[in-house]
Structure 1
Amino acid sequence: MTMQFSANAAPFIATSRNILFSQGIDITIGSDFDEYSEIVTEERPMQKLGDPFDPTLHGLNKSNAFWMIGRSEDGTLIHTQAAKRIRLSGRPLSSYLMRQFRAFPPPLPGVDLNLSRFRATPGTHRIEGTAAYHGEFWVAPERGKYRGVGLASVFGRTGMLEMMNRWDPDWIYGFILNVVAYKGFGARIGYLHLEPSVLKWIVDGRDDPIDTFLAYNSREDLEYLLDIPLNEATSEAA
């Protein structure tokens, strides 16, 4: 079933454009991941390119993946995110990740892929059909300018809408580190479902593993999300 966005998305699109315009932010969407890799390397040195979107590891093109960046009025990179279609081949996400979870490590050096583990959550058993993976979400750290002012809600929903318009997946999912999830990040960018302890990463030099949440939305969740006035969704904690 193809989802119809005309009624639900129009108010969101208009409001989000007004918010981005008022902040002087320009959005660019592309599918050349060699270009994206260069942007990240040169302009986002504090967070390396994630493996799921590394063009040297995966065949990424306009039919199966895209990236989105935001720039300030002076051209400074202030936001990134990316998404790609995932082929579950008739399996639930739980079965897919049992074999493939090592393809989604956090962007940190020293991750021990052999000792790290995946735990199936209720959502991973539920997610099947067509799916899109959502990652690379980053907002410039100048709090009070780009963080804590509602932009994450605009960026997150814009990315989700782009995924639905391109691929109409049954599900959208991503992984959020515990330290970020407990601050409400997943809810702010628009995820209605969060499940803890899905991926546990062992990192050299760290005493404790890095734990993550699974975040996901169904097609129906997104339809509901887009029907919520954006000004209600952009009230972020100080």
Structure 2
Amino acid sequence: MTIQFSGNAAPFIATSRDILVAQGIKLTIGTDFEEYRDIVAEERPMQKLGAPFDPSQHSLTSANAFWLIGRSEDGTLIHTQAAKRIRLSGRPLSSYLLRQFRAFPPPLKGVDQRRSRFRATPGTHRIEGTVAYHGEFWVAPERGKYRGVGLAPVLGRTGMLEMMQKWDPDWIYGFILNVVAFKGFAARIGYLHLEPSVLKWVVDGRDAPIDTFLAYNSREDLEYLLDIPLNDVLPEAA
């Protein structure tokens, strides 16, 4: 299926390029996940590589996955994200995750896979067909330099546009920790749907489990999202 926008993606691409140039950020897209693993290990030590994108655990190729990184003018890593196609084999996401949710743990030590659990949400029953998983979203923590300046909408939509151009998915989805979701992260990067308590992770040494939201967009959501002028979704301070 050919992607159709009520306008087209050119205005988004042009505006996002202007914003990235103004911030001195260069984006690179790749498909070699051994290279990405090395980048993360060397330059993002505060957040380890997520299991869904570990090439020692999954077959990640140019046909089914990509990563995107951003660097500042001096070459410092300031952003990461990644995506991959998920084979549902004719099942809804709810059936897939019932068996496979342990493949999407948070990037933390001490996760107790046996005591953690998945709860099917309304969205997981609807999501089927061609599906892409979106994760690894990280922005350097220097507030006022890279955070809080309107980059999240640009970076999130850039990744979503790349997924559309590569795979034309029926749906994209990701998991967001409660502590992050409550700060409006999903809305900033462009997710139109958010459902609570989908994955609950028990972590050694923590008194309470870590809860997560399911974030997702349909193809129609993505077409709508990418047709909105970026200036309409950027914070006034950006």
TM-score, scaled relative to structure 1: 0.98
Provide the residue aligned with 2:41 in structure 1. 41
Q: Specify the alignment match of 1:224 in structure 2.
A: 224
The CA RMSD over aligned residues, in Å, is: 1.3
Query: What runs of 5+ residues in structure 1 fail to find an aligned partner?
Result: none
The match for 1:91 is 91
Superimposed CA distance per residue, residues 177-236 of structure 1 (whole angstroms, 9 cap, x where no aligned partner) = 000000000000000000000000000000000000000000000111012110121217
CA contact (8 A) 1:148 1:236 kept: no
Q: Deviations over 1:27-72 (max 9, x none)?
A: 0000000000000000000000000000000000100000000000
1:148 matched residue in structure 2: 148
Alpha-carbon separation, structure 2, partners of 1:236 and 1:202: 39
| Contact 1:188/1:236 (8 A) holds in 2 | no
How many pairs align? Answer: 238
Asked if the contact 2:111/2:202 (under 8 Å) is kept, the reply is yes
- The correspondence of residues 35-74 of structure 1 with structure 2, limited to 5 A, is 35-74=35-74
Offset of residue 8 of structure 1? 2.6
CA distance, structure 2, for counterparts of residue 176 and residue 89 of structure 1:
25
Residue matched to 1:206 = 206
Range with bigger deviation, 201-210 or 5-14 = 5-14
Q: Whole-Å Cα distance in 1 between the matches of residues 190 and 209 of structure 2? A: 27
Match of residue 126 from structure 1: 126
Q: Secondary structure at the match of 2:143?
A: coil
Runs of 4+ residues deviating >2 angstroms: 4-8
Give the residue type in structure 2 aligned to 1:63.
A
Which region of structure 1 is more displaced relative to structure 2, 189-198 or 219-228? 219-228
What amino acid maps onto 1:88 in structure 2? L
Contact 1:141 1:147 in 2 (8 A): yes
Q: Secondary structure at the match of 1:38?
A: helix
1:170-209 alignment runs, 5 A limit: 170-209=170-209
* Aligned residue type for 1:31: T
Spell out, residue by residue over 1:87-127, the C-alpha distance to the aligned partner (whole angstroms, 9 max, x if none): 00000000000000000000000000000000000000000
Q: C-alpha distance in 1, partners of 2:199/2:88?
A: 18
State the 1:11 CA deviation: 0.7
SS of the residue corresponding to residue 8 of structure 1 reads coil
SS at match of 1:197: coil
Does the aligned pair in 1 maintain the 2:6–2:227 contact within 8 Å? no
Identity of aligned residues (%): 84
Secondary structure of the 2:196 match is strand
Tell me how far apart the structure 1 counterparts of residues 224 and 195 of structure 2 sit (CA, whole Å): 20
CA distance in 1, matches of 2:236, 2:90: 38
Matched, 1:113 2:84: no
